[in-house]
Structure 1
Amino acid sequence: MLDSKVVNMQLAQGSVNEYIVRDDSGITIGRVYIIDLSKENKYCCFRIRFYKKGEESYQYLKNSLNKFLITLFKNMDMFKVNVLAEEDVNLSSFTDLGFELEGIISNSIIKDNIYKDEILFGIDKEIFSNNIIRKISLRGKHIEIKLLTPENAEEVLKYYIENKEHLEPFEPTRENNFYTLSVQKRILMENYKQFLNGTSVNFGIYKDNKFIGKIQLSNIVMGIFRNCFVGYSIDRNEEGKGYMKEALNLAVEYAFDEINLHRVEASTLIDNFRSQNALKACGFKEIGLNKDYLYINGRWRDHITFYKIKEG
């Protein structure tokens, strides 16, 4: 419940655009800075700095945002609100209220003498009033694929650590820091930038809400080509159960129906028969051999390339 962590917000002394956020003990846990407030356009943009960390940060931040939105939407009749927050903020506090991630502002703040990015969130009055949460989630018969964001970094890291030896023959050589939370957050942030720019969609594969694999539409090209590449991997304990074929069908359907692509391409190592069979079962057709196509596991490897074209 939103009332489980009480927050109080008041205008900072001597300021007209800075608010102090305190918990029920009177301790300052954050600050809100109004950047733009237009009654004419019914629009507000503010930056939030939140100091509370740990497990309690989610509820405190969510309550703070909710309280501010009630004031803006119900008391001040705003229609659209944007919020800027640090890249390591608890994303669920925003998305669980219905916020969408609308952009990344690169190198916009300095923290510990290092330039860092900010995340731009957005929500309008209709979404907030009706508690509509907009996330990309595609459900099949047995599995579900969901758009990955930096808040998924822990489960993605766990997946890579547990499947390190299993995935090694099929992927590029990984540096040791690849298996750290900070690097996974950075990769997912970059993936999300690509999603916002329309060049990539990075999905997680879930079985009963457990992360079991990844599938990504990358190198999306529109215009006269309207093509992308699909790549994927799955947990060693979930192979041979038909889950990847289901994920492939969902991702390709999204590429054709939502992105309006004409063609999807995929390539596998020449001895990866399991992957080839999955592609063929999903209607992909073989083009042929690509010599020394990708640098995998320390050397250039031959691949067999497949394609599928949208019908109609």
Structure 2
Amino acid sequence: MSNSYSLPVVKLRAIEPEDLDIMYSIENDRSIWNVSVTNVPYSKQTILNYISNSVSDIYVDRQVRMMVENIYGEIVGIVDIVNFEPSHLRAEIGIIISPEFSGRGYGRAVLNAVADYAIRILHLHQLYAIVSVNNERSLKMFKCCGYKETSCLKEWLYDGKNYVDALMLQVFL
């Protein structure tokens, strides 16, 4: 994991109904659809149903989504731990940092916090991310936090016009 000095302090917490507007805004931001598996807009009702029906138990849902707060209680982003495989003790990670907090070290702080959670609470052996070769900022962030590039997935992502290669990055905990 990356050296945490000078990184902002973050808190991972469960999603609350009060987070509906922020989640609605993020889920419907078309500019990030090509880096996620989302490709349709979500209604507020659909997101509220997700919040209400999620057990928040990674062993039941095979995923967990958490809000990320800074020391002032401001929501700086969302982190997803998905594709959880309990028999192999691994999961995929995805994070979104709100544009107004981007470039301030929050991404690295979140990756460190998730790694700590994955080790202490979930007892995972590894985390991985799949990142577009064009997403230089994310690639740099993951690599700064100890993730290693392990494979190239050819034409893995579709940006609406072209297929783009993606890199698999892994960290062993």
Q: Is the TM-score greater than 0.5?
A: yes
Greater CA radius of gyration, 1 or 2?
1
Identify the residue that residue 219 of structure 1 maps to in structure 2. Answer: 83
Following TM superposition, by how much is the alpha carbon of 1:190 offset from its aligned partner in structure 2, in angstroms? 5.0
Following TM superposition, by how much is the alpha carbon of 1:276 offset from its aligned partner in structure 2, in angstroms? 0.7
For the 8 Å contact 2:14–2:56, the answer to whether it is kept is: no
Taking the aligned partners of 1:232 and 1:297, their CA distance within structure 2 comes to 21
Larger strand share, 1 or 2: 1
Q: 1:262 to 1:213 in 2, by over 3 A?
A: same
Q: 1:232 to 1:305 in 2, by over 3 A?
A: same
Identify the residue that residue 282 of structure 1 maps to in structure 2. Answer: 145
Return 5+ residue gaps in structure 1 as ranges: 1-139
For the 8 Å contact 1:172–1:296, the answer to whether it is kept is: no
CA RMSD, aligned part only? Answer: 2.5
For the 8 Å contact 1:150–1:186, the answer to whether it is kept is: no
What code does the residue aligned with 1:204 have? M
**TM-score when scaled to structure 2?**
0.82
For the 8 Å contact 1:218–1:229, the answer to whether it is kept is: yes
For the 8 Å contact 1:153–1:181, the answer to whether it is kept is: yes
Do residues 309 (structure 1) and 172 (structure 2) align?
Answer: yes
Return 5+ residue gaps in structure 2 as ranges: 1-6
For the 8 Å contact 1:159–1:211, the answer to whether it is kept is: no
Cα deviations across residues 63-114 of structure 1 (Å, max 9, x unaligned)? Answer: xxxxxxxxxxxxxxxxxxxxxxxxxxxxxxxxxxxxxxxxxxxxxxxxxxxx
Aligned counterparts, 1:192-207, within 5 A = 192=55, 195=58, 197=60, 199-207=62-70
Aligned counterparts, 1:152-171, within 5 A = 152-160=19-27, 164-171=29-36
Q: 1:169 to 1:222 in 2, by over 3 A?
A: closer
For the 8 Å contact 1:266–1:307, the answer to whether it is kept is: yes
Structure number with the bigger relative contact order (C-alpha 8 A, sep ≥ 6) is 2
Q: How many residues align?
A: 166
For the 8 Å contact 1:191–1:202, the answer to whether it is kept is: no
Taking the aligned partners of 1:146 and 1:205, their CA distance within structure 2 comes to 7
